[in-house]
Structure 1
Amino acid sequence: MAQPLLPNDDNELLLAFRDESTREAAYTKIIRKYQEKLYWHIRRMVVNHDDANDVLQNTFIKVWNYLDNFREEANLYTWMYRIATNETLTFLDKEKRRASLSLSDHESSLANKLQSEKGFDANKLEWKLQQAIQSLPEKQRTVFLLRYYEEMPYEEMSVALETSTGALKASYHHAVKKVEEFLKRD
């Protein structure tokens, strides 16, 4: 049986998801629409490709389990980023506890993962930027990634991270200053 033709609009995809006859096709379309953006959001936080895929898979499992209860108080995109961010932070916390490392040791572990990535060259600006980002405290790193790479508005970020826009602006400002200082070194 052929898959039904589904719209690309989030509201219409949500309606299709709530209909048993188009639920799986709508979910597949939602995955295809957001998979790459969510993957890169997660990857920038966990660094490692395999870890990012694992977290992304957990994110989509949660999306499937809770999409029926999505109240549409935020955009679907924002809601999914919130889940991805929470799943990523949970993953990083588990990794930190499993290795029983201090936070600074864990952050240096992330830096080591970055340096072991294929094609890593510490002299290239993009790698220096990644090293600078990995050196940020967890909250500042998350805010920086969402704002810099995803260009997420502070209002959406506020919903996704459950914090005030003022706190986010301050975190982003501090993160930018630290990244600039890191890039000026050498």
Structure 2
Amino acid sequence: MQEEKDFIEQLLNTETQNKAFRELVRIYQKPLYNHIRNIVLNHDDTDDVLQNTFVKVFQYLKDFKGESKLFSWIYRIATNEAISFINQKAKKHQTTSEAIQSKIVENLKADVYFDGDEIQIKLQKAILLLPEKQQLVFRMKYFEELKYEEISEILGTTVGGLKASYHHAVKKIEDFMNNN
């Protein structure tokens, strides 16, 4: 895609870099915020991870080889940053990432940026019971409405594997929602 290639050249050119990066932030800030928020669940943590994501994008843009879409590459960085953030937080508190996320879900009612109801909180609890990959696939497909092909590029897995993960995730969530 020539348009994307031109945009990447602008990002790499020291004369056009600042303007192009502001444009990149304008384009990706809201969807990346939503993506990261779906993983870390907390607004303040999301802002921190989002900032780290843009720093990494800027830092490693020179290494982007164009083997995937810029969108996929940036989302992969955001996903990795979000997962790393949760794992670091767990390590700092000498607990598991699952325990950290469970505590965040319990605190969602008090989060002024969370506009969900009891069912949304129950859904978040159900999602936390899934293995990490199923959580990611479910959140990206259900909340962000990404196509399997996009998720495949972001997570580096096959479309068939993603469809199976999503199917299993939906079944487990349905069971949880019906039985709890």
Q: TM-score, normalised by structure 2?
A: 0.86
Other structure's SS at 1:163 match: coil
Q: For residue 79 of structure 1, what is the amino acid of its counterpart? A: W
Larger relative helix fraction: 2
Question: 2:89–2:97: 8 Å Cα contact kept in structure 1?
Answer: no
1:81-132 C-alpha deviation (Å, 9 max, x unpaired): 0000000110011111112224543342232232432366653x44433333
- 1:154 and 2:148 correspond: yes
Gaps of 5+ in 1: 1-8
Cα distance between partner residues in 2 of 1:113 and 1:90: 21
Cα distance between partner residues in 1 of 2:132 and 2:104: 11
Other structure's SS at 1:101 match: coil
Indicate the residue corresponding to 2:51 in structure 1. Answer: 57
Cα distance between partner residues in 1 of 2:104 and 2:166: 20
Question: 1:140–1:171: 8 Å Cα contact kept in structure 2?
Answer: yes
Cα distance between partner residues in 1 of 2:33 and 2:26: 11
Question: 2:148–2:163: 8 Å Cα contact kept in structure 1?
Answer: yes
Gaps of 5+ in 2: none
Distance apart, 1:12 and its partner CA = 2.8
Indicate the residue corresponding to 1:175 in structure 2. Answer: 169
Cα distance between partner residues in 1 of 2:97 and 2:32: 25
Indicate the residue corresponding to 2:108 in structure 1. Answer: 114
Q: For residue 36 of structure 1, what is the amino acid of its counterpart? A: K
User: Structure 1 pair 173/62, CA: closer, same or farther in 2 (3 Å)?
Assistant: same
Indicate the residue corresponding to 1:4 in structure 2. Answer: none
Q: TM-score, normalised by structure 1?
A: 0.84
1:91-170 equivalences under 5 Å are: 91-118=85-112, 122-123=117-118, 125-170=119-164
User: Structure 1 pair 169/120, CA: closer, same or farther in 2 (3 Å)?
Assistant: same
1:144-169 C-alpha deviation (Å, 9 max, x unpaired): 11111222222332222122333222
1:7-39 C-alpha deviation (Å, 9 max, x unpaired): xx5333212112221111001100100110000
Distance apart, 1:177 and its partner CA = 1.1
